[in-house]
Protein backbone atom coordinates (compact mmCIF):
# COMPACT_ATOMS: atom_id res chain seq x y z
CA UNK A 1 0.00 0.00 0.00
CA UNK A 2 3.05 2.35 0.32
CA UNK A 3 3.67 4.64 -2.64
CA UNK A 4 7.12 5.94 -1.81
CA UNK A 5 8.52 4.47 -5.00
CA UNK A 6 6.69 7.26 -6.80
CA UNK A 7 8.43 9.93 -4.73
CA UNK A 8 12.08 9.17 -5.44
CA UNK A 9 14.75 11.09 -7.23
CA UNK A 10 12.47 12.30 -10.02
CA UNK A 11 10.54 14.54 -7.63
CA UNK A 12 13.36 17.02 -7.28
CA UNK A 13 13.61 17.37 -11.04
CA UNK A 14 9.85 17.76 -11.24
CA UNK A 15 9.92 20.61 -8.76
CA UNK A 16 12.61 22.42 -10.73
CA UNK A 17 10.42 22.30 -13.80
CA UNK A 18 7.49 23.73 -11.87
CA UNK A 19 8.85 26.51 -9.70
CA UNK A 20 8.58 29.87 -11.37
CA UNK A 21 7.57 28.64 -14.79
CA UNK A 22 4.22 26.90 -14.40
CA UNK A 23 4.95 25.05 -17.64
CA UNK A 24 3.52 21.79 -16.37
CA UNK A 25 0.08 23.34 -16.43
CA UNK A 26 0.49 24.44 -20.03
CA UNK A 27 1.85 21.10 -21.25
CA UNK A 28 -1.53 20.02 -22.55
CA UNK A 29 -4.29 22.21 -23.92
CA UNK A 30 -7.27 22.42 -21.59
CA UNK A 31 -10.18 20.29 -22.70
CA UNK A 32 -13.87 20.53 -21.97
CA UNK A 33 -15.54 17.92 -19.81
CA UNK A 34 -16.40 14.61 -21.46
CA UNK A 35 -19.24 12.61 -19.93
CA UNK A 36 -19.31 8.79 -19.92
CA UNK A 37 -22.16 6.80 -21.44
CA UNK A 38 -24.85 5.75 -18.94
CA UNK A 39 -24.48 2.46 -17.10
CA UNK A 40 -27.54 0.21 -16.84
CA UNK A 41 -28.02 -3.09 -15.03
CA UNK A 42 -27.42 -5.98 -17.40
CA UNK A 43 -24.57 -4.15 -19.15
CA UNK A 44 -21.08 -5.62 -19.30
CA UNK A 45 -18.42 -4.29 -16.93
CA UNK A 46 -14.73 -4.93 -17.50
CA UNK A 47 -12.39 -5.90 -14.68
CA UNK A 48 -8.78 -4.77 -15.04
CA UNK A 49 -5.67 -4.74 -12.84
CA UNK A 50 -3.68 -1.64 -13.83
CA UNK A 51 -1.56 -1.55 -10.65
CA UNK A 52 -0.44 -4.25 -8.24
CA UNK A 53 -1.09 -7.95 -8.62
CA UNK A 54 -3.69 -9.57 -6.39
CA UNK A 55 -1.85 -11.88 -4.01
CA UNK A 56 -4.84 -14.14 -3.39
CA UNK A 57 -7.02 -15.57 -6.16
CA UNK A 58 -9.99 -15.15 -3.82
CA UNK A 59 -9.73 -11.40 -4.40
CA UNK A 60 -10.21 -11.91 -8.13
CA UNK A 61 -13.17 -14.19 -7.50
CA UNK A 62 -14.73 -11.70 -5.10
CA UNK A 63 -14.34 -8.86 -7.61
CA UNK A 64 -16.16 -10.91 -10.24
CA UNK A 65 -18.92 -11.93 -7.84
CA UNK A 66 -19.37 -8.31 -6.73
CA UNK A 67 -19.94 -7.09 -10.28
CA UNK A 68 -22.41 -9.90 -10.92
CA UNK A 69 -24.22 -9.25 -7.63
CA UNK A 70 -24.55 -5.59 -8.62
CA UNK A 71 -26.50 -6.79 -11.67
CA UNK A 72 -23.89 -6.74 -14.44
CA UNK A 73 -22.13 -9.13 -16.75
CA UNK A 74 -18.35 -9.47 -16.37
CA UNK A 75 -15.53 -9.32 -18.88
CA UNK A 76 -12.02 -9.72 -17.50
CA UNK A 77 -8.88 -8.22 -18.95
CA UNK A 78 -6.52 -10.69 -20.57
CA UNK A 79 -3.95 -10.05 -17.85
CA UNK A 80 -6.09 -9.05 -14.89
CA UNK A 81 -4.70 -12.03 -12.95
CA UNK A 82 -1.13 -11.56 -14.19
CA UNK A 83 2.03 -10.95 -12.21
CA UNK A 84 5.43 -9.41 -12.82
CA UNK A 85 7.06 -8.72 -9.49
CA UNK A 86 4.56 -6.68 -7.50
CA UNK A 87 2.73 -5.66 -10.69
CA UNK A 88 -0.19 -7.37 -12.39
CA UNK A 89 1.83 -8.01 -15.56
CA UNK A 90 4.13 -5.89 -17.70
CA UNK A 91 3.34 -2.25 -18.37
CA UNK A 92 2.37 -3.12 -21.95
CA UNK A 93 0.02 -5.88 -20.77
CA UNK A 94 -1.73 -3.78 -18.17
CA UNK A 95 -2.06 -0.74 -20.44
CA UNK A 96 -3.24 -3.02 -23.24
CA UNK A 97 -6.01 -4.41 -21.05
CA UNK A 98 -7.21 -0.92 -20.18
CA UNK A 99 -7.08 0.25 -23.79
CA UNK A 100 -8.92 -2.89 -24.90
CA UNK A 101 -11.72 -2.29 -22.40
CA UNK A 102 -12.21 1.27 -23.59
CA UNK A 103 -12.21 0.06 -27.19
CA UNK A 104 -14.67 -2.81 -26.58
CA UNK A 105 -18.12 -1.54 -27.58
CA UNK A 106 -19.85 -4.18 -25.45
CA UNK A 107 -18.12 -2.99 -22.27
CA UNK A 108 -20.00 -0.06 -20.72
CA UNK A 109 -17.93 0.43 -17.57
CA UNK A 110 -14.54 -0.49 -16.10
CA UNK A 111 -13.79 -1.42 -12.49
CA UNK A 112 -10.22 -1.72 -11.23
CA UNK A 113 -9.64 -4.89 -9.22
CA UNK A 114 -7.22 -3.20 -6.82
CA UNK A 115 -4.77 -0.34 -6.38
CA UNK A 116 -1.35 -0.72 -4.81
CA UNK A 117 1.36 0.71 -7.06
CA UNK A 118 2.30 0.94 -10.71
CA UNK A 119 -0.54 2.73 -12.51
CA UNK A 120 1.65 5.77 -13.25
CA UNK A 121 3.90 3.55 -15.38
CA UNK A 122 1.00 3.11 -17.82
CA UNK A 123 0.30 6.76 -18.55
CA UNK A 124 2.53 7.11 -21.66
CA UNK A 125 1.04 3.85 -23.02
CA UNK A 126 -2.65 4.72 -22.83
CA UNK A 127 -4.52 5.50 -26.04
CA UNK A 128 -6.16 8.80 -25.09
CA UNK A 129 -7.70 9.24 -28.53
CA UNK A 130 -9.39 5.86 -28.14
CA UNK A 131 -10.58 6.77 -24.64
CA UNK A 132 -11.94 10.10 -25.87
CA UNK A 133 -13.91 8.32 -28.59
CA UNK A 134 -15.31 5.74 -26.17
CA UNK A 135 -16.10 7.55 -22.90
CA UNK A 136 -17.23 5.16 -20.19
CA UNK A 137 -17.24 4.71 -16.42
CA UNK A 138 -13.87 4.07 -14.76
CA UNK A 139 -14.03 3.24 -11.03
CA UNK A 140 -11.21 2.87 -8.51
CA UNK A 141 -9.18 4.75 -5.89
CA UNK A 142 -5.76 4.86 -4.23
CA UNK A 143 -3.14 4.16 -6.94
CA UNK A 144 -5.91 4.56 -9.55
CA UNK A 145 -5.57 8.29 -8.84
CA UNK A 146 -2.88 8.30 -11.55
CA UNK A 147 -5.44 7.14 -14.12
CA UNK A 148 -8.08 9.62 -12.96
CA UNK A 149 -5.58 12.46 -13.24
CA UNK A 150 -4.09 11.53 -16.61
CA UNK A 151 -7.35 10.60 -18.33
CA UNK A 152 -9.00 13.74 -17.02
CA UNK A 153 -6.11 15.92 -18.17
CA UNK A 154 -5.78 14.33 -21.61
CA UNK A 155 -9.44 13.71 -22.49
CA UNK A 156 -11.66 15.63 -20.04
CA UNK A 157 -13.48 12.39 -19.16
CA UNK A 158 -15.30 12.35 -15.82
CA UNK A 159 -14.15 9.25 -13.90
CA UNK A 160 -15.13 7.92 -10.49
CA UNK A 161 -13.10 7.72 -7.28
CA UNK A 162 -14.48 4.88 -5.18
CA UNK A 163 -14.28 1.23 -4.15
CA UNK A 164 -12.12 -1.28 -6.02
CA UNK A 165 -13.48 -4.62 -7.17
CA UNK A 166 -11.69 -6.68 -4.51
CA UNK A 167 -12.45 -4.20 -1.72
CA UNK A 168 -15.34 -3.99 0.71
CA UNK A 169 -18.80 -3.87 -0.82
CA UNK A 170 -20.87 -3.21 2.26
CA UNK A 171 -24.38 -1.77 2.11
CA UNK A 172 -23.11 1.82 2.11
CA UNK A 173 -20.80 1.29 -0.88
CA UNK A 174 -23.45 -0.65 -2.78
CA UNK A 175 -25.92 2.19 -2.16
CA UNK A 176 -23.35 4.71 -3.40
CA UNK A 177 -22.83 2.64 -6.57
CA UNK A 178 -26.56 2.45 -7.19
CA UNK A 179 -27.27 6.13 -6.57
CA UNK A 180 -24.28 7.59 -8.43
CA UNK A 181 -23.65 5.12 -11.27
CA UNK A 182 -26.99 3.43 -11.95
CA UNK A 183 -29.76 5.79 -10.85
CA UNK A 184 -27.56 8.77 -11.77
CA UNK A 185 -28.73 10.93 -8.89
CA UNK A 186 -27.28 14.33 -8.12
CA UNK A 187 -25.99 13.08 -4.79
CA UNK A 188 -25.11 15.12 -1.74
CA UNK A 189 -22.13 13.45 -0.08
CA UNK A 190 -22.58 13.76 3.67
CA UNK A 191 -20.87 11.69 6.36
CA UNK A 192 -22.90 9.10 8.26
CA UNK A 193 -21.86 9.45 11.94
CA UNK A 194 -21.05 6.24 13.82
CA UNK A 195 -22.27 6.59 17.39
CA UNK A 196 -22.05 3.02 18.64
CA UNK A 197 -22.14 2.93 22.44
CA UNK A 198 -20.86 6.49 22.81
CA UNK A 199 -22.96 9.32 24.22
CA UNK A 200 -22.03 11.45 21.20
CA UNK A 201 -20.67 10.20 17.84
CA UNK A 202 -16.86 9.99 17.65
CA UNK A 203 -16.27 8.49 14.20
CA UNK A 204 -16.97 10.01 10.78
CA UNK A 205 -16.90 13.51 12.27
CA UNK A 206 -16.03 16.44 10.04
CA UNK A 207 -13.97 19.46 11.12
CA UNK A 208 -14.30 22.78 9.36
CA UNK A 209 -10.94 24.34 8.50
CA UNK A 210 -12.39 27.47 6.90
CA UNK A 211 -16.10 28.09 6.52
CA UNK A 212 -18.10 28.96 3.45
CA UNK A 213 -19.23 27.48 0.15
CA UNK A 214 -17.44 26.99 -3.15
CA UNK A 215 -18.30 25.55 -6.53
CA UNK A 216 -16.04 23.88 -9.04
CA UNK A 217 -14.94 20.65 -10.67
CA UNK A 218 -13.57 17.92 -8.42
CA UNK A 219 -9.92 16.97 -8.72
CA UNK A 220 -7.67 14.84 -6.54
CA UNK A 221 -7.48 11.43 -4.92
CA UNK A 222 -4.49 9.85 -3.20
CA UNK A 223 -2.05 12.53 -2.05
CA UNK A 224 1.21 10.68 -2.66
CA UNK A 225 0.17 9.39 -6.09
CA UNK A 226 -1.03 12.84 -7.15
CA UNK A 227 2.14 14.58 -5.97
CA UNK A 228 4.27 12.04 -7.85
CA UNK A 229 2.81 13.39 -11.11
CA UNK A 230 4.22 16.88 -10.45
CA UNK A 231 6.13 18.19 -13.45
CA UNK A 232 4.53 15.71 -15.86
CA UNK A 233 1.90 16.40 -18.53
CA UNK A 234 -0.47 14.18 -16.55
CA UNK A 235 -0.74 16.45 -13.53
CA UNK A 236 -4.32 17.77 -13.42
CA UNK A 237 -5.25 21.42 -13.59
CA UNK A 238 -6.20 23.09 -10.31
CA UNK A 239 -7.59 26.48 -11.31
CA UNK A 240 -10.98 26.95 -9.65
CA UNK A 241 -11.17 23.26 -8.71
CA UNK A 242 -12.34 21.58 -5.53
CA UNK A 243 -9.36 19.51 -4.37
CA UNK A 244 -9.99 16.34 -2.37
CA UNK A 245 -7.20 14.21 -0.89
CA UNK A 246 -6.61 11.07 1.17
CA UNK A 247 -3.70 8.77 1.99
CA UNK A 248 -2.59 5.70 3.92
CA UNK A 249 0.49 4.58 5.87
CA UNK A 250 2.35 7.87 5.51
CA UNK A 251 4.20 9.44 8.43
CA UNK A 252 3.19 13.07 9.08
CA UNK A 253 6.60 14.39 7.96
CA UNK A 254 5.98 12.78 4.56
CA UNK A 255 2.49 14.27 4.39
CA UNK A 256 4.05 17.66 5.22
CA UNK A 257 6.57 17.25 2.40
CA UNK A 258 3.85 16.39 -0.09
CA UNK A 259 1.74 19.40 0.88
CA UNK A 260 4.87 21.49 0.54
CA UNK A 261 5.24 20.20 -3.02
CA UNK A 262 1.66 21.17 -3.86
CA UNK A 263 2.32 24.61 -2.41
CA UNK A 264 5.62 25.13 -4.23
CA UNK A 265 4.19 24.13 -7.61
CA UNK A 266 1.31 26.58 -7.19
CA UNK A 267 -1.48 24.02 -7.04
CA UNK A 268 -2.85 25.03 -3.64
CA UNK A 269 -3.01 28.70 -4.57
CA UNK A 270 -5.25 27.86 -7.53
CA UNK A 271 -8.01 25.86 -5.83
CA UNK A 272 -11.47 27.14 -4.91
CA UNK A 273 -12.08 24.68 -2.07
CA UNK A 274 -10.54 21.77 -0.22
CA UNK A 275 -11.68 18.48 1.33
CA UNK A 276 -9.47 16.05 3.21
CA UNK A 277 -10.72 12.51 3.76
CA UNK A 278 -8.93 10.01 5.93
CA UNK A 279 -5.19 9.53 6.37
CA UNK A 280 -5.35 5.95 7.61
CA UNK A 281 -2.43 4.73 9.73
CA UNK A 282 -0.59 8.05 9.42
CA UNK A 283 0.88 8.18 12.90
CA UNK A 284 4.27 9.71 13.70
CA UNK A 285 7.16 7.35 14.37
CA UNK A 286 9.74 7.37 17.13
CA UNK A 287 12.08 10.31 17.44
CA UNK A 288 12.08 13.90 18.63
CA UNK A 289 8.46 14.44 17.80
CA UNK A 290 6.30 15.27 14.81
CA UNK A 291 3.89 17.74 13.41
CA UNK A 292 0.35 16.50 13.67
CA UNK A 293 -1.90 16.21 10.64
CA UNK A 294 -3.99 19.00 12.15
CA UNK A 295 -0.97 21.30 12.27
CA UNK A 296 -0.03 20.43 8.69
CA UNK A 297 -3.49 21.38 7.45
CA UNK A 298 -3.35 24.54 9.56
CA UNK A 299 -0.08 25.48 7.89
CA UNK A 300 -1.06 24.81 4.27
CA UNK A 301 -4.86 24.99 4.00
CA UNK A 302 -6.19 27.54 6.48
CA UNK A 303 -4.08 30.41 5.08
CA UNK A 304 -5.63 29.89 1.63
CA UNK A 305 -8.88 31.35 2.93
CA UNK A 306 -10.98 28.99 0.79
CA UNK A 307 -13.85 26.83 2.11
CA UNK A 308 -12.26 23.68 3.50
CA UNK A 309 -13.02 20.78 5.82
CA UNK A 310 -11.55 17.44 6.82
CA UNK A 311 -12.89 14.03 7.86
CA UNK A 312 -14.93 13.19 4.74
CA UNK A 313 -15.63 9.51 4.07
CA UNK A 314 -12.92 9.32 1.41
CA UNK A 315 -9.90 7.04 1.45
CA UNK A 316 -8.70 3.70 2.71
CA UNK A 317 -11.81 3.02 4.77
CA UNK A 318 -14.57 0.46 4.39
CA UNK A 319 -17.39 2.91 3.71
CA UNK A 320 -16.48 5.52 1.13
CA UNK A 321 -18.09 7.98 -1.23
CA UNK A 322 -18.06 7.43 -4.99
CA UNK A 323 -16.98 10.85 -6.24
CA UNK A 324 -17.13 12.04 -9.87
CA UNK A 325 -13.63 13.30 -10.65
CA UNK A 326 -14.19 16.19 -13.05
CA UNK A 327 -17.83 16.58 -12.02
CA UNK A 328 -19.10 19.96 -10.84
CA UNK A 329 -19.94 20.12 -7.14
CA UNK A 330 -20.76 22.59 -4.40
CA UNK A 331 -18.67 22.33 -1.24
CA UNK A 332 -20.22 23.48 2.04
CA UNK A 333 -17.39 23.56 4.55
CA UNK A 334 -19.65 24.38 7.51
CA UNK A 335 -22.01 21.47 6.87
CA UNK A 336 -19.23 19.17 5.66
CA UNK A 337 -20.88 18.25 2.36
CA UNK A 338 -20.19 17.95 -1.35
CA UNK A 339 -23.24 18.25 -3.61
CA UNK A 340 -23.28 17.30 -7.27
CA UNK A 341 -24.54 20.21 -9.35
CA UNK A 342 -24.85 18.65 -12.80
CA UNK A 343 -25.37 15.23 -14.39
CA UNK A 344 -22.14 13.32 -15.05
CA UNK A 345 -23.51 11.03 -17.77
CA UNK A 346 -24.50 11.55 -21.37
CA UNK A 347 -28.16 11.94 -22.27
Q: Residues with catalytic annotation?
A: 142, 246, 316
Helix (H, G, I), strand (E, B) or coil at 32: coil
Which has the closest alpha carbon to 326: 65, 149, 168, 181? 149
Instruction: Supply the DSSP string of 28-73, one letter for each residue.
Output: S-----BPPPP--TTSEEEEE--SBPPSSHHHHHHHHHHHHHTT-E
Which has the closest alpha carbon to 173: 343, 36, 59, 317? 317
Which has the closest alpha carbon to 45: 132, 172, 118, 137? 137
Helix (H, G, I), strand (E, B) or coil at 233: coil
Helix (H, G, I), strand (E, B) or coil at 323: strand
Beta strands in 80-129 (DSSP E): 107-112
Element (H, E) at 154: helix 145-155
CB 328 within 8 A of CB 217: yes
CB 74 within 8 A of CB 111: no
Q: What's the rounded Cα separation, in Å, for the pair 64 and 197?
A: 36
Q: Which residues partner with 139 through β-bridges?
A: 111, 160
Amino acid sequence: MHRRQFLGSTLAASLLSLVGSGTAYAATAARGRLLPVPLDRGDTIGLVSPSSATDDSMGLQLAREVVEALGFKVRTGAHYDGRRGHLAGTDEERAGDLNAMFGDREVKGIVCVRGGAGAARLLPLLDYTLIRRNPKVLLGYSDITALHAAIGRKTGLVTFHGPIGAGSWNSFNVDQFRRVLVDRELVEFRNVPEQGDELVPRNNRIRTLHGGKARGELVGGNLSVLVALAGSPYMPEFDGRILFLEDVSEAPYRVDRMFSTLKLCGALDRIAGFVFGECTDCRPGDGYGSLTLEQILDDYIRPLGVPAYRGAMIGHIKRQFILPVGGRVELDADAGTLRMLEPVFQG
